[in-house]
Each structure stands twice: as C-alpha cells, then as structure tokens.
Chain A
C-alpha cells in the first residue's frame, strides 16, 4: 500500500513537473561571447537560429535540421502550439500596419488603437514556451514617408521590456539603408536586434550595417533568391524567374558565404519561404509547390543546416529553353502555332522522374513587400508531343501574355520547377 502511495506521488510529481516545464517560457537573451561576438542564448545555452518563414510542413523542417520558425502576426495561436510540439522556437511577429496599407501615423486614434491592440497581444503570448524573439513590425519602412512609425515600434518594444524580460525585441526592415539605421538607433532604443529582409541586397547587408554604424546584432529575417522586384522583365513587363536549379545554387552560396560567415553580428536566419505563396509567380519564393510537394530548395536548406544532403534528393531543372531561346530572353510567338520547350535537368539518384507542363496567363501585379497576390487559374492547351525533357505544344489562339511551367518530380514527390514567360502576338 505504502509502495503504491509512493508510486502515486511520484507520478503526480512527474506530471506536475512536466506540466510546469512545458508551460514555462524560455529565457532568451542577447549576450556577447568570449570573442566579443553577439550571441543569442536560450536558457543560458548559445542558440544559433536555423530558421524558416513557415506556417506548415514543420515535421520536414525539423527533419531538415531547423530549430525555429518566423511568423508575421499573432492571428494564429495554433502555429505556436504546433511549433512547440515539434520542438521549434518562434520569432513572433506583431503586425504593425505599414503606411502603404493606408495607416496614417499622424492619426492619434489609429496609432493608439494599434498600440493598445498590440500590447494586448504581447500579454497574450509572452509566456508561450515556443516564443524566442518578438518581431515588431515587418517592412514598415517600405515606401514610407512618415518616420513617426518608429515611435510606435519603440512604444511596443518598451512595453515588452516592462512586461516580458524573457524575450528580446526585434524590428524587421526591408533592406538596409543609412537613414533607417539612424532612425531605429535614435527612436527605438528598446530594440535589441535588427531584422533584415534581404534578397538581392543580402550580398552587402553585413558590410553595410557596419558602414551605417549599426552596433547591435541582426537576424536575417527573410532571405532567399532575388525577389521579383529585383528581377529582369520582358518587354511586356513579365518578371523573368530563374529555374529552380539556379535558385538552389544561389541559396546555398548565400547561406554559406554571407549568413554563416558573419559570426560577429548575425544571430541566425529565417529562409523564405518554407511554404508556398503567389508573388509574381506561384513558385518564386516558395520552397514548396501549391500542391504541397517540396522542391529542391528544401534539400538545399537540409544541406545548409545539417551539412549533408538528404538521402533522397529532388531532381533539378538547370535550364529551360523555348524555341531554342534561353529563359533570360524575350519569347514572342504567333497565336495557334507549334512551339517547342526544352528543359535541362539533373536527375541525381532518381531512377524515375515524372514531368508535367502547365500553362497560365501572366499574373501581372503591382503589389509590393509580400502583400497578398491572387493566383491565376491554369489554361488548357494542346500538347503535340511530350518527353522527359521536351514538349511540343500549340500556343493559345488568344493574344496575350502567358507563362509555361515545367514540373519535374521523383517518385517521392520531391520536385523542381522552371517557367518561361512568352507573349502570343
């Protein structure tokens, strides 16, 4: 009886301990190490962020070697819970409305309403065990002219310092610029970390921060391939997207040579995007396809985070050619005419690959900064002949701008994609 009682108390204690441990917030701090380099510590242990901007596919993320996700707003608590159950930490975004969305920072009512709302969100989430860093605002500097927005950022950061001593504060800007560095230094002393969303500009981001006399650490809060806003366009203003294989090389080089190497200031990074979204095309930033299949970018991140390639790798499209003209050039074809598309690919260790071609109307959009864009619907088209790396098809009879996608996948669904815009005229 006494033994049973002891067992019962042991069990009860274990359950209570587990519950307490699970519901405890981590103590996260920015410190400097013995070399004088900035370092993030979680519960007293150095913590280098191997992260992704992600809302799903957490299982594969962990399997690939990541330890953290970044989300942009507080509107979905289940993401934090799910991240926690997968052993991932979260950089949690507090959505500060950017001026470009119509927010007027001279309007006291709008400003105070937003601040009170976000303070409430801070109180809701500050003790969540998955929370790593607060991300106050995302790209509020993009096309802005009212620098008062930095006052809002500071009020929220200062509030966090008052109510949550466990988590550092970060604000995220769209690229580095001397005026932004000045304003954040001047107006936001309660900001601990600068978040950088850098695509093409990642090449000089670390150097530029030093030039702009930024003296706190940074996290590369979004990075990846050059964005549509940096891409070359055709004569009809369609953005030219490199094939997955080219983008994969770019990702790998940037991680190894730019992010990992800056040990003095960089606390880690979040690759963009561990998921799928429409941004000029459906495949530009997303490391997954709209049907949920992973692309070769996932393999690249596996290599970046774990130092080895996964056992099964996606095939890789290295080149796409329409009518014997490469993807970097303009392609203008007559309506209802026969045309040939070729792809060059690496199969790696895949014995069998499946190729699919899909035609879309061009999705012109003037949205910026990751604002929501609508995906076009695919168009039916006539295929004359198709092989593993070549497609002969009939162009649409309607004049206009189109984009032809080539999808290649192995038996496990690991994919690579490339597209080529063309004008029917």
Chain B
C-alpha cells in the first residue's frame, strides 16, 4: 500500500472513531425537569431538638417527653415519649414544621410520604396507638394512622424501624382540610405507650392503592318496581320450625301462604324481605308518589301490620295496621292492597335513601296467600288509597 493510501485509511479510521464518541445534541434541548418533591422546601420535620421546633413536650400526668442523646437514629438527640392517655382528653406533641410556615402539600400529595424512624426499648409490637394529624390554617385537621403495609418488617422493636405515612392516607377530603395551607403536624397518642421517634422527614413515595366508591345502594327512579324478588332475601319462612308460613305459588312473583292458628304453639306470624337484595334501596325521588301494592287471596281481608325499616337515621321504623280502606276486592276472594308511603306517620323523618326491609305481621288466625309485592305510582289521597282512579 502506498503511503498516501495508508495515511488516508488512518485518517478515515480516526474520523470514524471520533464520530463514535460524538453525542447527538438538540439545538433547543429542554432543561432537566425538577420534581414537585425536589421543589418542596420543607422536607425536614424533626432531626433533633436543636434544629426543629416542637410544642407539647412538657411532661404532665399523661405523658413524659425526653430528648435522649444516646442511640439516636440521626442528629444529636431523638424524641422519647411515654404516655398514658386514659386520664386526659388529649395527649399530643406538635411539630412546628419550618416554624409554622405555610406548606403547600398539594403538589406532593400523590408522590410523597411522611417518614419517621421508631423503636421501643424492649419487646415487639405490630401496632402503636397513635395518630398523625395534619392541621391547616383554617383549623381543620385530618388524620392517618400507621399502616402495617408501610411498617418496616411488620413490627416495632428495639431496632430503628422505618414507618411511612403516605400523604394520600390522610382523610383530608372528608375533613375538608386545605392541603395547600398546612400549618403543622401533630402526633396524637391514645391509650398507653412508650416510643422513641427520630428523623421525621418528607420522602418520595409511590402509593399504588385505590379508593372505590361502592355504596351498596340500588336507586329506583321510575315505577313500577317489583320488590322482594328472590326467596333468599326473605325471612320468617322455615318449615323445620313452623308451617304457618310457607312460600306459595298462586301469584306470578314471590308469595307467602299463611295458615295461622293462634291457639296452637310455635305459630310464626311474622315474615319480611328486602326490597332489593338487602342493599340500601334509594327511592328518595319517587317515594312521595309511591304506594306499596300487593295481592291477597283470601276468604276475608286478613289483619295485617306492615313495618318498613331503614338502615340509617333516627327514625328507622314506620308502622301501619291495614284496614278495609287499603283493600279492593278485584275478584271473588282476590284482593289488592294499597299503602301510600306518604300515609305512614313519620315518613318525612325516614331515610328513603336507605330503605332496608318490609315486614308483615299477621295479627290474628288466618288462612290466605299474600304476594306479588310492588312499589307502584300513586298520586291520589293518601288517606283514601283505594279511591284513586289511577289504580
């Protein structure tokens, strides 16, 4: 190879190698992004008593607070609290957290946690009766407790163990706490305990848990509604103990055959069912224009007491003894009964968003079949239920 060719090849190799070390550079490269956590300036709540302010550290009959120098996790000392809260309404220690500066936690709620290290002098615990409380400048406060999932090793013992309280674990929405204006963190103590605490800081944290909105509620907005569908949602019918009440088959939907003789023993005279699968049944929007309707096959009108129950509220039971005005005879021995919900005394105090149960009591010896229970539209006079032309 001629010298010129050799020099050319060497230059080519050199250039090629050089290109390999060259980086691609965008003319308009964006600057490296800074996370919300990085931007948050108040990451330290407590490292030692010299640097970080606390209140409530004066010992009293319910708690003793020490700053101990030996065996600290970090800094010159750490917090040691012994408490017996049984004689006090409130036992707590407050962290002034950057001298009560306004802390905006909103940008870091999703991505951070309060971290601390704890230990006890001896033994082993899986739980400590204490709460973490965040206070805003409006005086609202939300709380969270220690969750086993974020307790290092699942226990507290004589080694320093890490605990994390994700900011999302605080019930700030429920308590209407303004997370962009947080004033302080409090450690609230209950029952009895003895705990060493150190290094309370804000740390990045992934919290991969969801909150569902399940309410076990069935909402009804339109009529008619077939109620009590499904024998598994009924009670009071158990042939092993009483044959007074048995499921019948005369009507299209669920019905009860009543054969009650009060002169005999073990005569069950009460049965009930859920309007819908024992869920909270919400008929708030239609209850004022609703009536319970059911059919009766009997030689005469039976003496019935009807009770409605709700899951919630102060008034959980409405009661009515039906009389002749509630019944229309459609055929010979076949009646329809109507009970407008507005006719029930106390209906305004009843929680129609949490309707639970309809219960019947047979008040005297009877032979009949009762069934086909519905909630129908009713816009007549509640006091004269069978005189409305709409039925």
Q: Interface on A for B, CB 8 Å cutoff? A: 75, 102, 104, 106-110, 112-114, 116-117, 120-121, 145-148, 178-179, 181-183, 210-213, 374
Q: Does B207 contact A (CB under 8 A)?
A: yes
Complex Cα distance A168/B127, Å?
Answer: 25
Complex Cα distance A102/B215, Å?
Answer: 16
> Does B127 contact A75, Cβ atoms closer than 8 Å?
yes
Q: Report B317 CB to chain A, min CB distance, Å.
A: 13
Give the dominant DSSP class at A's interface. Answer: helix
> Does A117 contact B126, Cβ atoms closer than 8 Å?
yes
Q: Report B161 CB to chain A, min CB distance, Å.
A: 14
> Does B357 contact A178, Cβ atoms closer than 8 Å?
yes
Q: Does B40 contact A (CB under 8 A)?
A: no
**Among A104, A120, A147, A213, contact of B211 (Cβ-Cβ < 8 Å):** A104
> Does B238 contact A210, Cβ atoms closer than 8 Å?
yes
> Does B148 contact A116, Cβ atoms closer than 8 Å?
yes
Q: Given A108-B212, A211-B235, 20 more contacts at CB 8 Å? A: A102-B143, A102-B171, A106-B212, A106-B214, A108-B211, A109-B149, A113-B149, A120-B148, A145-B215, A145-B216, A178-B235, A178-B278, A179-B357, A181-B235, A183-B278, A210-B238, A210-B240, A210-B241, A211-B241, A211-B270
Q: Report B311 CB to chain A, min CB distance, Å.
A: 6
Chain B, residues 98-126, CB within 8 Å of chain A (1/0): the string is 00000000000000000000000000001
Complex Cα distance A80/B195, Å?
Answer: 25
Complex Cα distance A104/B233, Å?
Answer: 26
Name the B residues within 8 Å of A146 (CB-CB): 214-216
Complex Cα distance A120/B356, Å?
Answer: 36
Q: Report B229 CB to chain A, min CB distance, Å.
A: 14
Q: Does B252 contact A (CB under 8 A)?
A: no
> Does A110 contact B147, Cβ atoms closer than 8 Å?
yes
Q: Interface on B for A, CB 8 Å cutoff? A: 86, 89, 126-127, 143, 147-150, 154, 166, 168-169, 171, 207, 209-216, 232-233, 235-236, 238, 240-241, 268, 270, 272, 274, 278, 280, 311-312, 354, 356-357
Chain B residue with Cβ nearest A110: B147
Q: Report B367 CB to chain A, min CB distance, Å.
A: 21
- Say yes or no: A121-B147 contact (C-beta < 8 A), given A178-B272, A183-B278, A212-B235: no
Complex Cα distance A75/B193, Å?
Answer: 12
List 9 tightest A-B contacts by C-beta distance, closest first: A109-B209, A113-B147, A117-B148, A178-B235, A108-B209, A113-B149, A106-B212, A179-B278, A113-B148
Q: Report B205 CB to chain A, min CB distance, Å.
A: 12
> Does B147 contact A179, Cβ atoms closer than 8 Å?
no
Chain A residue with Cβ nearest B245: A211
Q: Report A81 CB to chain B, min CB distance, Å.
A: 14
Complex Cα distance A120/B209, Å?
Answer: 21
> Does A109 contact B207, Cβ atoms closer than 8 Å?
yes
> Does A117 contact B127, Cβ atoms closer than 8 Å?
yes
Q: Report B315 CB to chain A, min CB distance, Å.
A: 15
Q: Report B207 CB to chain A, min CB distance, Å.
A: 7
Q: Report A183 CB to chain B, min CB distance, Å.
A: 7
Name the A residues within 8 Å of B212 (CB-CB): 106, 108
Complex Cα distance A75/B126, Å?
Answer: 9
Complex Cα distance A178/B274, Å?
Answer: 9
